[in-house]
Structure 1
Amino acid sequence: MILISWNIDSLNAALTSDSDRAKETRKVLQTITANNPDVIAIQETKLRSTGPTKKHQEILGQMFPEYNYVWRSSEEPARKGYAGTMFLYKNTYTPQASYPVIDAPDTMDYEGRILTLEFEKFFVTQVYTPNSGNELKRLEDRQIWDRQYTEYLKKLDAQKPVIASGDYNVAHEEIDLKHPANNHHNAGFTDEERSGFHKLLEAGFTDTFRKVNGKVEGQYTWWAQRVRTSKQNNSGWRIDYYLVSNRIADNIKRSEMIDSGERKDHCPILLEIEI
Structure 2
Amino acid sequence: MKIVAWNVSGLRSCVSKGCVDYLLRENADIICLSEVKCRSEEEVPVQMRLSNYHTYWNVEKGKPGVGLLTKVKPLKVSFDLPEPFSDEKRLINAEYNKFFLVCCYVVNAGRGLKTLDKRLKWNKIFDEYIKDLDKKKPVIIAGDLNVAHNEIDLANPKSNHKTAGFTKEERDGFTKFLSYGFIDTFRELYPDQTGAYTFWSYMRNSRAKNVGWRLDYFIVSKRFMTKVKDNVIRSSVRGSDHCPIVLYLKV
- Does TM-score exceed 0.5, indicating one fold? yes
Does 1 or 2 have the higher relative contact order (CA < 8 Å, sep 6+)? 2
Partner of 1:210: 187
Map 1:115-126 onto structure 2 (within 5 A).
115-126=92-103
Partner of 1:77: none
Map 1:119-134 onto structure 2 (within 5 A).
119-134=96-111
Match of 1:97 among 68, 77, 88: 77
- The TM-score with structure 2 as length reference comes to 0.94
Q: Counterparts of 2:231 and 2:47 in 1: how far apart (Å)? A: 29
Q: Counterparts of 1:263 and 1:29 in 2: how far apart (Å)? A: 10
Q: Counterparts of 1:264 and 1:73 in 2: how far apart (Å)? A: 18
Q: CA deviation at 1:35?
A: 1.9
Match of 1:87 among 68, 86, 90: 68
Partner of 2:210: 234
- The TM-score with structure 1 as length reference comes to 0.86
Match of 1:146 among 99, 116, 123: 123
Q: Counterparts of 1:116 and 1:98 in 2: how far apart (Å)? A: 5
Q: Counterparts of 1:34 and 1:101 in 2: how far apart (Å)? A: 33
Q: Counterparts of 1:209 and 1:181 in 2: how far apart (Å)? A: 23
Partner of 1:40: 31
Q: Counterparts of 1:101 and 1:188 in 2: how far apart (Å)? A: 21
Asked whether the equivalents of residues 231 and 264 of structure 1 are also in contact (C-alpha less than 8 Å), the reply is no
SS at structure 1 position matched to 2:207: coil
| Identity within the alignment, % | 38
Asked whether the equivalents of residues 256 and 270 of structure 1 are also in contact (C-alpha less than 8 Å), the reply is yes
Q: Counterparts of 1:174 and 1:259 in 2: how far apart (Å)? A: 19
Q: CA deviation at 1:255?
A: 0.4
Asked whether the equivalents of residues 81 and 129 of structure 2 are also in contact (C-alpha less than 8 Å), the reply is no
Asked whether the equivalents of residues 231 and 262 of structure 1 are also in contact (C-alpha less than 8 Å), the reply is no
Q: Counterparts of 2:74 and 2:218 in 1: how far apart (Å)? A: 22
Q: CA deviation at 1:204?
A: 1.1
Q: Counterparts of 1:44 and 1:264 in 2: how far apart (Å)? A: 10
Asked whether the equivalents of residues 182 and 220 of structure 2 are also in contact (C-alpha less than 8 Å), the reply is yes
1:184-239 Cα offsets, whole Å, 9 max, x none, are: 001000000001111111111100001111221110000001x1310111100000
Partner of 2:2: 2
Q: CA deviation at 1:264?
A: 5.4
Partner of 1:136: 113
Asked whether the equivalents of residues 80 and 87 of structure 2 are also in contact (C-alpha less than 8 Å), the reply is no
Q: Counterparts of 2:63 and 2:83 in 1: how far apart (Å)? A: 19
Partner of 1:19: none
Distance 1:94 1:146, change over 3 A: closer
Q: Counterparts of 1:264 and 1:118 in 2: how far apart (Å)? A: 28
Partner of 1:69: 55
Asked whether the equivalents of residues 92 and 103 of structure 2 are also in contact (C-alpha less than 8 Å), the reply is yes
Q: Counterparts of 1:132 and 1:159 in 2: how far apart (Å)? A: 31
The answer for unaligned runs of 5 or more in structure 1 is 16-21, 75-79
Q: CA deviation at 1:259?
A: 3.0
Q: Counterparts of 2:20 and 2:125 in 1: how far apart (Å)? A: 32
Structure 1 vs Structure 2 CA RMSD: 1.6
Partner of 2:233: 257
Partner of 1:266: 242
1:103-142 Cα offsets, whole Å, 9 max, x none, are: 24xxx43220011100122111111011111111111111
Q: Counterparts of 2:22 and 2:234 in 1: how far apart (Å)? A: 8
Paired amino acid for 1:170: V
Q: Does 1:199 align with 2:176?
A: yes
Partner of 1:224: 201
